[in-house]
Every structure is written in C-alpha cells, then in structure tokens.
Amino acid sequence: MLSGVDLRVGAGRISALLGPNGAGKTTFLRIVTGLLLPESGSVRVAGIDVAADPMGARRHIGVVPSGDRTFYMRISGLENLAFFGRLYGLSRREALARAEQRLADVGLADAGAQRAGLYSHGMQKRLSMARALLMNPELLVVDEATDGLDPEGARRIQDLVRGITDTGAAVVWTTQRLDEIRGFADAVTVLDRGRTTFAGTVEDLMLQATSRAYFVRLRGVGDAPGDAELQRANEALGALGTLSRAGGDREHVRLDLTEGAVLGEALAAVSGAGLTVLDVAQQRSELEQSFLRLTTPRT
Amino acid sequence: MTGAQANPIAELAKLSAFLRRDLLTRLSYRTAILADLFSLFSQALIFYYVSKVVNPARIPNSGGQRTTYIAYVTVGIAVSGLLAIGLARLVNVIRQEQFMGTLESLMVTPTTASVILLGSVVYDLIYVPFRTVIFLVIVSIGFNVSFVASGYVPALVILAAFMPFVWGIGSIASACVLTFRRGTGVLGFATFVLTFTSGAYFPVSLFPSWVGQLAKINPIAVTITGMREQLIGGAGWDDALTVLAKLIPMSGITLLLGLLAFRLAMRRERRLGTLGLY
C-alpha cells in the first residue's frame, strides 16, 4: 500500500528510491510502468497519464527489473533483444540493428550470439540494461540493478546509467545499497511502509544522521590502553561522548559522540588524556544512520 | 486497453516475433522434437494392435462407409490429441512466462494483452495441427490405413474451424491460472468428459442415449464425426458445410468467452499488482 508518495524526476536527473524490504519500492515501479493500477492519484510519464494510456506511456519507459530471469534462456542475447525490439514496433531489420548497437554499448557485443542462459549474473544485468535502452527511453526505471553484483559490476551499471542521463533521460533508481547513491543520485526519496519519510538531496539525507559512533584504535603507555587509561580518557571527554570496549581486540574502542559534539575536539580530549589515536573509522555511514532513523526496523 | 488505441496491423505484425522466438526455443530442444514424433508412432502402434481384437461390425459407418477400428480411432486420437496438446500448451504458456519471470517484461512493452496471449500460442496454433497431419500420415503409411483423398481438404477446413474452440478453452484456462494460480483442474476434468463422450475412442452408441444427444452440441464430437465422414467416407463439401455451420458459431463463442475471461483476469492482476507472482 502506497500513500502520499510524490516523486518528480526531471530530464537528465537520477532519483534514488530507498527503503527496506516491503517499503513499497517495487509497488511504486509497477504503478509507474502501468502493471498496477493505483486506487487514487496519478503518474505521468513524458506528459502521458499511465493509467489512462499505459501503452502510450510504455513507449517512453525503459525498465530494468530486479532479478535475473527476465529473458528467454534458450535463445541468444541478440535474439532476446531483437524480440523485445519487435514488441516496441520495430521491424526485424531495425530491431536487429538496434539490438547489436545496444549490446555493444553495454559491452556484450562478443556475447550476442550466446544463449542468455549462459550469461553470468552481471552479464544478464547488462543485457537487461541493453533492453531497457533499446528505444532511447525518456524514463529509465531501474529496480535494484546492482543487487548481487560485485563492486566492479555495480560500477559498470552505474556508469551506464550516468551515460543515459547525458542523453536527457530521467532515471528512477531503487536500491537498498546506500553507499551507491552518494555521488550518483541527484535526489533521494526514502519510503517506509508505503509512505515517504524523506525527500531531498543525498547531502540532506546525510544530515539526518543523529547517532554518531566511531571505532578508534588507541595506544596507551604500554600497548593497548588499560582500563584505567580508558577511565581517564572518558573523564577528559566529559560531555563530548563516551569511550567503551568494542569487544575482542583491546586496541580498538568505540567512541559515541553526543549530539553537537565535534569529532576533532573529542579526539583531542582523548589525546590529552595520554592516549595515542592511531586510526578512526565510522561505525556506520551517515547515510546508513539516516536510513535507519527514517525507516522502521523489521523483525 | 484505455487511452490511444493500438494500431491493429502493427500489433498483429508482432506475432511473427513471437513465432520466431518459440521456433528458436523449440529447435534448441532437438531431443524433445524426436521424442514427440516417437510418441506419435508408438500411440498409433498400440491402437493398431488394439484394432486387431475389435470386431469391425461394431464400428459405426462414417459417411456411409464401413471402416476398421484403426481408421475410426485414428481420427479420434488426432482431434483429441490436438485438443489435449493445444490446451496443455495454451495453459502452460502463461504459467511458464510467470515462472521464467518474463511475463512482466512482456507486459511493460507497448503490446496489448490480447497480442501477448495470441503471440504466446501462435507457434502452437500452427505446430499442433501440423503434428496432427503428421500423425495421420504415419498411420496412413505405416499401418496401411487408407483415407479418401478428396476428403483431405474438407477435413483440414473442419480442423481449422475447430482451432478457435481450442484457443478459447485454452484462454479460459489461462485466465484461471492467472486468477487462481492452480485453476486448471476443473477445466481439465470438463475437457476429459467432453472428449470421453465425444466418440473419439468408442462409438457414442455405447453410452446412454442422452450422451448421444449431448454429443450433437459437443464441438469435439462434431469435429471428430465431421472429419471421419470426410476422411473415411469422402462425404464431400455439402456435408462439410453442414458441419462447419454448427462448428463455427460454437468455436467463435468459445473464443470470445476465452478472450474476455483472459482480459478480465489481466485487469484483475493489474489492479492487485500480482501479475508476476506464481
């Protein structure tokens, strides 16, 4: 169930749709592509009302669905693309030419004659991207395209999408991988249980982070800091935050900053207490913290 | 479909894409094609030997001609086999698309639901009658069953008029699959009853007289009887036209009901958003 979701994506922009499982991301994409009729509200793609004219709207939409098995596994990647091209009204000759071009665009030119069933997960994702781009869509809808891909594969998909926006296409990108939207998406909408809990830029989303926890690697007088040294450091920190054992390795401790505290000041206080700060790492990224704050934990 | 209407010619042109897709897919399963041909031959072989123990005097005349059980049952098997295979393929095609995850990929293209349904079965609508002809040829050559040459064309026309009935029943079954996921059991039972009482394997006279009355409005029985009269008795075009006058409305109504059921099922799935679920 979706309620009160309002999303606008301009030409050449990437809008990320975040949310935990069951938040309504796929439902939203189904409504956008006309697979699901909304009980109220409307979706317009390139000025066309999707519910009133789904066929007309679909001519302007390219879809990269989640999951692998969205192709005919016994026929080649090229034949798959040519088939879908025909469904968009292309002649066989046009569809083949367009399919070959798109396969080359996504780096699958050499694998075009291979059966789609023999493609790796990453190759199927690129084939899916090639299919979505067959008709130079004005709106590209991408449903968790990097799910299950290695970092290189995910980067490749993102590069392809960035390239598409250069041609003026608008992109709706759903994901659960928070790290991938930084420096990629122009806008973010967070859905939780069918409602929008955040809409804004990635930077605005990061500012939603409230709890800030770090892992700090410290050295005391001997080697790892002792309990008495930690006690001293905590006294020095005062209202800035608290240090506590992170478990296991005694060299690493957890630093929880209070709201408004500045990390540099906290580290200076720890140094002033006689401990050497060797390394600092964020326990969770600001994006992850914001996401967790804006969504309801699932049991 | 609402909004701008699709160009019917452009939509129908998409059928060749479906045909090519399914031809390539089937050709990739070469062993299955050989196995299918073998099953046709083995079926004919079994009935050839069964016919040896059946008294020809108990077999009703067709087109005024006496016949053997093998000739009689061959036409029944051909038509009922066409129905069974056609129906199985029609029903499974949507289910298969759901399982493969390709149904939603098809549905997000600017293609009407009717063309997706027709496209998904166009290969079988061509292949299954072709397979039926092969079966008749195997029996004719392999088991020395002679059919009347002048009856081939009228028989094929009757068979062609029967295809919309198969398509219609298949569309109803597809709609059941879309709606209930496992809704083919009742339809399968109904088809069995219609086939069993159609005289495909046994003369209708063996059944209670009311079965014989029902057979007159059973499209399967009408088709089988009509084809027997042509292939065995060489009844000619006048008889064929009488059969067609009965069969075409039955097939037409079934097809319309089937397409309507499928359309309603698709609309329901769109409303519920459960098209990709199986």
End-to-end CA distance of chain A: 19
The torsion defined by the Cα of B244, B249, B254 and B259, in degrees rounded to 10, comes to 110
Q: Is B272's Cβ below 8 Å from some Cβ in A?
A: yes
Confidence bin at A177 (pLDDT 50/70/90): confident
Task: Find the length of chain A.
Answer: 299
Rounded distance, CA A6 to CA A214, Å?
A: 35
Beta-carbon separation of B273 and A71 below 8 A: no
pLDDT value of position B230: 92
Q: How far is A188 from chain B (nearest CA, A)?
A: 25
Closest residue by Cα to residue A232 from A220, A223, A215: A220
Q: CB–CB of A10/A181 below 8 Å?
A: no
Q: Chain A residue closest to B276 (CA)? A: A35
What is the SS3 string spanning B11-68? Answer: HHHCHHHHHHHHHHHHHCCHHHHHHHHHHHHHHHHHHHHHHHCCCHHHCCCECCECCC
Q: Report the candidate in A210, A208, A232 with the shortest Cα–Cα distance to residue A221.
A: A232
Among A55-64, A69-78, B2-11, B242-251, the minimum mean pLDDT is found in B2-11
Closest Cβ opposite residue A69 in set B4, B6, B101: B101
Q: Which residues of A touch B24 (CB under 8 A)?
A: 74-75, 79
- Set of chain B residues whose Cβ sits within 8 Å of the Cβ of A49: 3
pLDDT tens figures, A30-87: 899 988 888 888 899 989 999 889 889 999 999 998 877 789 999 999 999 999 999 9
pLDDT at A285: 65
- Its sign, for the CA torsion B6, B7, B8, B10, is negative
Average of per-residue pLDDT across A102-118: 93
User: Could you identify the residue written with the tokens 């140094």?
Assistant: A271
Q: List, for residues B130-148, the tens digit of each pLDDT value.
A: 888 888 888 888 888 888 8
Give chain A positions within 8 Å (CB) of B275: 35
DSSP conformation letters of chain A? ---S------TT-EEEEE--TTSSHHHHHHHHTTSS--SS---EETTEETTT-HHHHHTTEEEE-SSS--S-TTSBHHHHHHHHHHHTT--HHHHHHHHHHHHHHTT-GGGTTSBGGGS-HHHHHHHHHHHHTTT--SEEEEESTTTT--HHHHHHHHHHHHHHHHTT-EEEEEES-GGGGTTT-SEEEEEETTEEEEEE-HHHHHTT---EEEEEEEE-SSSS--HHHHHHHHHHHGGGEEEEE-SS-TTEEEEEEPTT--HHHHHHHHHHTT-EEEEEEESS-HHHHHHHHHSPPP-
Which residues of chain A does B107 touch, with a Cβ-Cβ cutoff of 8 Å?
35
- For the segment A132-151, what is each residue's pLDDT rounded down to a tens digit? 999 999 999 999 888 777 88
What sign does the dihedral B50-B53-B58-B63 (CA atoms) show?
Answer: positive
Q: Which residue has the tokens 């914001």?
A: A290
Nearest-Cα distance to chain A for B155, in Å, is 35
Q: How does residue B1 score in pLDDT terms, banded at 50, 70 and 90?
A: very low
Share of chain A above pLDDT 70, in %: 93
Q: Which residue of A has its CA nearest to B26?
A: A74
Query: What is the strand order of the sheet A170-175 is part of?
Result: A61-64, A139-143, A170-175, A14-18, A187-192, A195-200
Residue B22, pLDDT score: 94
Structure tokens at B264: 């309603």
Q: How far apart are CA A153 and CA A144, in angstroms?
A: 13
Identify the residue whose tokens are 């005062």: A238
CB A255 within 8 A of CB A233: no
| Model pTM score | 0.77
Residue B2 has pLDDT above 50, yes or no: no
Q: Is B146 on the interface with A (CB under 8 A)?
A: no
ipTM at complex level? 0.77
Minimal Cα–Cα distance from A56 to chain B, Å?
Answer: 7
Q: Does B277 touch chain A (CB under 8 A)?
A: no
Does the pLDDT at position B43 exceed 90?
Answer: no
In the structure encoding, which two tokens stand for residue A33, read together?
């592509």
CB contacts, 8 Å: B272 with chain A: 36
How many inter-chain contacts (A to B, CB under 8 Å) are there?
104
Does the pLDDT of residue A248 top 60, yes or no? yes
What's the rounded mean pLDDT across residues A157-180?
A: 87
Residue pair A253/A216 in contact (Cβ under 8 Å)? The answer is yes
C-alpha B78: how far from chain center:
10
Alpha-carbon Rg for chain B, nearest whole angstrom, is 20
* Of A265, A297, A267, the residue nearest A280 (C-alpha): A267
Q: What's the CA gap between B16 and A270, in Å, rounded? A: 74
- Structural domains in chain A? 14-206 (3.40.50.300), 213-283 (3.30.70.3400)
Nearest neighbour of A74 by CB, restricted to B1, B20, B28? B28
**Helix/strand/coil percentages in chain B, nearest 5:** 75, 0, 20
Q: How many whole angstroms separate alpha carbon A81 and alpha carbon A96?
A: 8
As a whole number of angstroms, the distance between CA A298 and CA A221 comes to 44
Q: How far apart (Å, rounded) are the C-alpha atoms in residues B277 and B270?
A: 12
